Amino acid sequence: MKKLFYIILFFVSSFVEGQSIDTNYSISAGIRLKKYTGFYWVNGISGEFHSTKLLNNKLHLGLNIATSNLGTAFNSNALSTWETEISTIYFFRSSKKLNPIARFNLGFASVQIDDKYSSIPSRSFIASIETGVNYSISSYSIRMFGGYNLLSGNGITGLGTIYPIYGGIGIMKSFK
């Protein structure tokens, strides 16, 4: 765990320049609404780091944290799921207002299951690919995306709440 902390610290510090007034990086944060086809809404927050040093601002690094407690499980008896993903996002035509994007997510999902269902899986890794479009207005951006989970489950092998196909929308605000 300590090694991972040092690797992340080194990675982030490599983008910082001493005594520099002109910033060449920014951070974006916002909401992410995701719907598995025929199944749960899983909503949450999303954050991204982007820099002119990362492929001339075409590559962004992201973090998503989402839960069905803010979606389908809100005020219902649906299963409480949590997903945490890190991602890399590639922006095509990054200098334009409307750009196609491609995203690769890697993470972990868990679901709260009662003791009577303890024999079925309650945790799983997540690996997914997404494509979509991003529209930028000033410091805000709106994204529509569709994705495919490379690791999905049916409740017997793998987590039953991770369906293969999903779609969604995100709204982000950029901070310098």
Q: Residue 172 and residue 27: Cα distance in Å, rounded? A: 10
Each residue's pLDDT expressed in tens, for the chain with a length of 176 residues: 566 555 555 655 555 555 454 568 889 999 999 998 878 889 999 999 988 888 888 899 999 999 988 877 777 777 788 999 999 999 998 788 999 999 999 999 888 877 766 667 778 888 999 999 999 998 899 999 999 988 876 656 667 677 789 999 999 999 87
Question: Rounded to whole angstroms, what are the CA distances from 20 to 17, 35, 49, 51, 176?
Answer: 6, 42, 18, 14, 14
Q: Residue 89 and residue 105: Cα distance in Å, rounded? A: 9
Question: What's this model's pTM, rounded to 2 decimal places?
Answer: 0.77
Strand partners, 162: none
Q: What structural domains does the chain harbor?
A: 24-175 (2.40.160.20)
